[in-house]
């Protein structure tokens, strides 16, 4: 990856990046103090253009820009659009599409704007229990919400050949999907399973094909025969890899993923350790195996696979046909700067 442009803004450390709009040269940030959730709009020079409070209940997904100087917020009381000055322009009541908050910093889980629908994860998948194997066959993965009426529908189930239909047990949220739309196709990856499942992008969302991902040193937990709430089951959430973000850019898939690490070696290292010592060991190992990025073509060929130095792998955004990513914070320097980079793909010949 080659950096072709950058933005640096001094901000308070508690502000969380949400989106960038290169056209209006603005950056969207979020903060919560006690029960007050606030939106901040900065320009590229670091000046605060506006700040205002959310009015549609608790924020459920990260905020986003949507054309014509508009901000979209999906809250517990519906989807609201705001002008950059904070004026509420439109409110849509949504019934029962989602009830669980997603991390505000996980910008890969924002609402997707597809035709006249908002798409997000359904409450069925977010509330799925790893103890209820019979529900994996019937759980509907995504929620579609009409932008005019607010009517919501659930759609898409785990494919028959998915590892999550194998009758095995998995750690909590191992299946949480990431997805992206690309013209007339919908691409989905189910959590730890390194496969892109592709569907038509319109009802009834027919299955078209699947594409196995061949990632560098990817450690894939394939499930357990019985359920366990003990540490040995819990530590798989540290040792197993997981797909974190997917985008389609210039004809290729951009994948951000956590590679995981060797489970058998981990089991030996955990022998004789207390629960606290074991958890600290697993956290240290996770730091030593940072998130990676892969570039995969439409046939599944891996064009690049690397740890993005100085960049946050999960922060990929495609805006106006360009790829933007967050710069990694310099924790040692203690600097409170938001760094954003416009990037170009460059492959070794």
CB-based contacts of 237, cutoff 8 Å, min separation 6: 171, 172, 173, 174
Long-range contacts of 284-290 (CB under 8 A, 24+ apart): 285/238, 285/239, 285/261, 286/238, 286/258, 286/261, 288/261, 289/258, 289/259, 289/260, 289/261
Is the pLDDT at 94 greater than 90? The verdict is no
Report d(CA 74, CA 51) in Å as an integer.
18
Q: What is the pLDDT of residues 285-340, one digit of tens each?
A: 888 889 999 999 999 999 999 999 999 999 999 999 999 999 998 766 666 899 99
Residue 211 has, within 13 A of its CA and on its CB side, a CA count of 20
pLDDT tens figures, 168-225: 999 989 999 999 999 899 999 999 999 999 999 999 999 999 999 999 999 999 999 9
Residue 259's pLDDT is 96
Task: Look at residue 237 and give its three-state secondary structure.
Answer: helix
Max CA-CA distance within the chain?
60
Percentage of the chain beyond pLDDT 70 is: 94
Residue 254 has pLDDT above 80, yes or no: yes
- The pTM score is 0.92
Are 198 and 181 a contacting pair, CB within 8 Å?
A: no
C-beta separation of 215 from 228 below 8 A: no
Decide: helix, strand or coil at residue 216: coil
Q: Which residues are within 8 A (CB) of 227 and not within 5 positions of it... i.e. 6 or more apart? A: 130, 131, 169, 233
Question: Cis omega (within 30 of 0) on the bond before 204?
Answer: yes
Question: pLDDT, tens digit, for every residue of 11-28?
Answer: 988 899 999 999 999 999
> Confidence class of residue 231 from pLDDT cuts 50, 70 and 90?
low
CB 239 within 8 A of CB 219: yes
Q: List, for residues 25-62, the tens digit of each pLDDT value.
A: 999 999 998 889 999 999 999 999 999 999 888 899 99
Structure tokens given for 151: 């009517």
Separation CA 240–CA 220 (nearest Å)? 5
Closest residue by Cα to residue 48 from 95, 85, 96, 3:
85
The band of 97, judged by pLDDT with boundaries at 50, 70 and 90, is low
Pick the closest to residue 181 from 123, 110, 233 (CA basis).
110
**Residue 288 host element (H or E):** helix 275-288
Give the bridge partners for 182, in sequence order: 185
């Amino acid at each position: 990856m080659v950096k072709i442009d950058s933005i640096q803004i001094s901000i308070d450390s508690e502000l969380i990046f949400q989106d960038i709009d290169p056209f209006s040269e603005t950056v969207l940030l979020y903060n919560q103090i006690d029960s007050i959730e606030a939106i901040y709009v900065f320009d590229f020079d670091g000046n605060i253009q506006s700040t205002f409070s959310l009015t549609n209940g608790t924020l459920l997904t990260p905020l986003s820009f949507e054309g014509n100087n508009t901000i979209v917020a999906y809250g517990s009381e519906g989807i609201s659009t705001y002008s950059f000055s904070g004026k509420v322009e439109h409110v849509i009541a949504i019934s029962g599409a989602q009830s669980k908050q997603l991390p505000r910093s996980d910008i890969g889980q924002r609402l997707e704007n597809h035709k006249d629908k908002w798409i997000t994860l359904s409450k069925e998948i977010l509330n799925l229990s790893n103890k209820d194997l019979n529900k994996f066959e019937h759980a509907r993965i995504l929620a579609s919400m009409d932008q005019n009426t607010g009517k919501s529908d659930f759609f898409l189930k785990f494919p028959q050949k998915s590892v999550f239909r194998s009758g095995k047990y998995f750690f909590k949220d191992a299946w949480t999907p990431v997805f992206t739309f690309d013209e007339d196709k919908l691409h989905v990856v189910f959590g730890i399973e390194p496969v892109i499942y592709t569907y038509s992008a319109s009802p009834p969302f027919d299955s078209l094909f699947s594409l196995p991902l061949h990632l560098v040193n990817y450690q894939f937990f394939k499930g357990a025969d019985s359920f366990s709430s003990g540490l040995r089951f819990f530590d798989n959430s540290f040792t197993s890899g997981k797909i974190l973000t997917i985008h389609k850019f210039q004809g290729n898939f951009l994948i951000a993923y956590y590679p995981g690490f060797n489970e058998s070696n981990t089991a030996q290292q955990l022998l004789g350790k207390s629960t606290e010592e074991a958890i600290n060991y697993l956290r240290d190992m996770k730091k030593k195996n940072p998130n990676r990025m892969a570039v995969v073509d439409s046939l599944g060929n891996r064009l690049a696979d690397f740890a993005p130095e100085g960049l946050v792998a999960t922060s990929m955004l495609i805006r106006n046909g360009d790829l933007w990513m967050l710069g990694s914070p310099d924790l040692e320097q203690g600097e409170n700067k938001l760094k954003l980079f416009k990037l170009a793909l460059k492959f070794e010949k």
